[in-house]
Amino acid sequence: MKILVLTQKIDKNDDALGFFHSWVAELALQYERVIVVCLEKGLHDLPLNVDVFSLGKELRKDKFSPLGSVKGIFNRAIYLVRFYILIFRNIRKYDKVFVHMNSIYIIFGWPVWKFFGKKTGLWCNHPKGSWIIDLAVRLADTSFCTSSFAYLAKFKKTILMPVGIKTEDYGHESSPATQRSILFLGRITPIKKVEVFLEALTFLQSWGFKFSANIIGDPDPGQREYYDGLKKLSKEKGLDKYLVWLPAIPHHKTPLTFRKYELFVNLTPTGSMDKTIFEAMASKVLVIISNKSLSGQISENFITDNKPEEIAQKIVHILTLSEVAKEKYREDNLLYVSNNHSLKYLVSRLKVLL
């Protein structure tokens, strides 16, 4: 069985999308051949049965040209031409098509794949929809998401899937180097609710609760003002004594990073399944999340509304548990991720369902 994979980026050093490198490596173990077409290509070391082709975004200096600008339109026209060249040139080298997150590729490629009898699958975890996603789902043979709260979940053809964590990379040691240490990791964007996290830390400070916290991540293009505003707010709240801001790290370095902390906080709202939650649990790090998708799957002690005082109370409760109780929660969370969201399980299901 041979598969064509279309995705945004292949780069093992990317802080947000680096995880997909391990996805492709696992696909290579279960498929005879894997053809990858990505918008942008960076560092990779994939097996010999994987071919990676780029639409060329990494070659352009103006990577973030506005969609409506002359440069933006020209760049996208070039990408589209290369897209058709690549899917036609390799048409006999794949049997099935898996489109990861970029719904527009289903729309562009559907006439070709329909004519040649290629079965198509769309993976999309966005909490909100659009006419592009609606049309892509209708054209695709199968659609996938990981949360029952994701936009795609409402379609009958959508199948709920594992998140896809390479659990063997996340060593399972307990006992973090620093007690009462808190990690907030990910792209610094408004959807992450970083300002709510800062307000929660302010409550901890006012209560005299001893802790240390790190925020690791960079802002998305166009979000520098938001990022600078957060750092200004942190300083105004007097959190500099407790909180350190650190730049983003390559995704393959996250396993070692997680294990340095006792608690991971993720306030991304319900609707998407942030992989970092599951990576933290695979690292046997305790978590606090606001994603209600996991209600009933893990202890309610770890799930909160996006209210700063409630989050602060949860932090105090979890960090002051006995070591026996903490270890029990760590083991339970690790078992949940290993049994339900491992990468091997994801790819084996994908191979059957697509």
Q: Which tens digit of pLDDT belongs to each residue from 126-147?
A: 888 899 999 999 999 999 999 9
SS3 50: strand
What single string gives the DSSP state of each residue in 112-155?
HHHHTT-EEEEE---SS--HHHHHHHHHSSEEEES-TTSGGGGS
Cα gap 171→207, rounded to integer Å: 34
Residue type, 296: G
Task: Look up residue 235 and give its two tokens.
Answer: 């300083």
Tokens 């049997």 found at:
95
Residues 261 and 186 in one domain: yes
Task: Look up residue 153 and give its two tokens.
Answer: 């979940």
**Mean pLDDT calculated for residue range 9-33:** 96
Q: Is the pLDDT of residue 27 over 80?
A: yes
Residues 144 and 237 in one domain: no
Residues 268 and 172 in one domain: yes
Q: Is the pLDDT of residue 301 over 80?
A: yes
SS3 238: coil
**What pLDDT is attached to residue 328?**
96
Cα gap 187→41, rounded to integer Å: 20
Are 12 and 44 within 8 A, CB to CB? yes
**Mean pLDDT calculated for residue range 232-242:** 94
Task: Look up residue 53 and give its two tokens.
Answer: 């082709």
Which has the closest alpha carbon to 19: 154, 127, 123? 123
Residues 105 and 219 in one domain: no
**What pLDDT is attached to residue 60?**
72
Residues 203 and 304 in one domain: yes
**What pLDDT is attached to residue 70?**
64
* % of the chain at pLDDT higher than 90: 84
Task: Give the burial class of 89: count Cβ atoms within 10 A of its Cβ; 0-12 exposed, 13-18 middle, 19 or more buried.
Answer: exposed
Cα 340 to Cα 90, 152, 155, 165: the distances in Å are 34, 20, 22, 10
Cα gap 58→184, rounded to integer Å: 29
Query: Can you give the residue range of the structural domain that contains 235?
Result: 168-340
Per-residue pLDDT tens digits for 166-196: 999 987 555 456 899 999 999 999 999 999 9
Cα gap 326→285, rounded to integer Å: 9
Residues 198 and 329 in one domain: yes
Residues 137 and 177 in one domain: no
Average pLDDT of every residue of the chain: 93
Per-residue pLDDT tens digits for 10-21: 999 999 999 999
CATH number (domain holding residue 330): 3.40.50.2000
**What pLDDT is attached to residue 269?**
87
Lowest-confidence region among 9-23, 291-305, 307-321: 291-305
Residues 159 and 172 in one domain: no
Residues 137 and 208 in one domain: no
- Quickly state the pLDDT bin for 317 (edges 50, 70, 90): very high
Residues 191 and 92 in one domain: no
Cα gap 85→82, rounded to integer Å: 5
Q: Terminus-to-terminus CA distance in the chain, angstroms? A: 11
Q: pTM of the full predicted structure? A: 0.92
Cα gap 334→147, rounded to integer Å: 19
Are 262 and 179 within 8 A, CB to CB? yes
Q: Is the pLDDT of residue 272 over 80?
A: no
Cα dihedral 279, 285, 291, 297 sign? positive
**What pLDDT is attached to residue 335?**
95
- Quickly state the pLDDT bin for 62 (edges 50, 70, 90): low
Residues 105 and 136 in one domain: yes
Residue type, 219: P
Cα gap 60→39, rounded to integer Å: 11
**What pLDDT is attached to residue 68?**
58
Per-residue pLDDT tens digits for 192-224: 999 999 999 999 999 999 999 999 999 988 889
**Mean pLDDT calculated for residue range 59-63:** 66
**What pLDDT is attached to residue 74?**
81
Per-residue pLDDT tens digits for 273-294: 899 999 999 999 999 999 888 9
Under DSSP, the state recorded for 260 is T
The set of residues, in sequence order, having a beta carbon less than 8 Å from that of 139 and lying 6+ positions away, is 106, 107, 110, 120
Domain count, the chain: 2
Residues 139 and 263 in one domain: no
Cα gap 243→232, rounded to integer Å: 13
Lowest-confidence region among 88-92, 177-181, 347-351: 177-181
Q: Residue 9: beta bridge partners?
A: 40
Cα gap 333→327, rounded to integer Å: 10
Cα dihedral 29, 53, 99, 167 sign? positive
